Structure 1
């Protein structure tokens, strides 16, 4: 879609339809009325997702990590552990909830839920 053909306000309204995953999560957490133009929104987005690739994550970001059906439990746990290590203020209980919420249905998930 050619954004340049739209007004500044229309560009801001169309922008979230181009996002998914962590980028959409970031956009949804922007406080209301903090962006006054599409140019400002563009700069915020670039700063957040291009220049801050090593930023620390929040608990919300952990819920985005999912075990895909073709991914082994070991690979999922490794990926999750790596991302969890980048979370500054996430407690173990919240991390465990995120980890188990996104496990594929398996015996391991059953055992974790049976013991809580």
Structure 2
């Protein structure tokens, strides 16, 4: 059995009955059963009215609804007129989005509202000398749908400007994103993690190649002489003959001359 919001006597009785009928229709409930179920949707104060009804006074669901609506008619919202919509104006500091939502909510309460009447009223309520007001002056919207399509772009523009004018809010939102990426690096920080991985891999790869590369002594140039011995002694005696690296014989006496 579905559950319903309890009726306290302060809400619109027509809306309460309408919601009740929608849900009972889905359950396939007949009208005679509705008369028995409906009192369970009334709060304690509203049930006092039901218990005061004369026995046998309810003979049909339609008659029950009429009696219920008449009893709580004071809670019915007064229907709005099309002229009432003209009085709805965008306040100085009111965002364009809030104005549109407020207007459309009131427009649903107007019966037999034509598209032309709605368009004229919603146009007249836009704040004078605003960006959207200037756009409408340059090119008037021919239908309400065209008006709503065009206003969407200006709503996005206002929201972007508010973020720029309020850096604290933007920083807070960015901080939430950074914190989320930190706690869950696989979500927002995939690219960063991937780049770090690539950079670390490239660095480690380079180090491995450097370690694997054999260290060889610097090769001498073809014309450069490389001595066989690096330690030498001064010849104090004469009479020795030895072969120099370039193939010539020298005598120690010749060297001392």
TM-score, scaled to structure 2: 0.24
TM-score, scaled to structure 1: 0.51
CA pair 83-72 structure 1, distance change in 2 beyond 3 A: same
Aligned match of 1:15: none
- Note the 1:72-91 alignment, pairs <5 A: 72-91=95-114
CA pair 89-115 structure 1, distance change in 2 beyond 3 A: same
Aligned match of 2:134: 110
Aligned match of 1:8: none
Return the offset for 1:72: 0.6
> Partners of 1:98 and 1:52 in 2: how far apart?
27
Aligned match of 1:65: 88
Q: Which has the higher contact order (CA 8 A, sep 6+)?
A: 1
Return the offset for 1:65: 0.9
Aligned match of 2:116: 93
Aligned residues: 67
| 1:24-43 residue CA offsets vs partner (Å, 9 max, x unmatched) | xxxxxxxxxxxxxxxxxxxx
> Partners of 1:98 and 1:53 in 2: how far apart?
25
> Partners of 2:75 and 2:124 in 1: how far apart?
27
Return the offset for 1:52: 6.0
Preserved CA contact (<8 Å) 1:58 1:89 = no
- Structure 1 stretches of at least 4 aligned residues deviating more than 3 Å after TM superposition: none
Report the structure number with the largest CA radius of gyration. Answer: 2
Return the offset for 1:67: 0.7
Preserved CA contact (<8 Å) 1:62 1:83 = yes
> Partners of 1:55 and 1:75 in 2: how far apart?
23
> Partners of 1:53 and 1:103 in 2: how far apart?
30
Return the offset for 1:108: 0.8
> Partners of 1:113 and 1:98 in 2: how far apart?
15
Return the offset for 1:87: 0.9
Preserved CA contact (<8 Å) 1:62 1:84 = yes
Preserved CA contact (<8 Å) 1:59 1:87 = yes
Aligned match of 1:55: 78
RMSD: 1.9
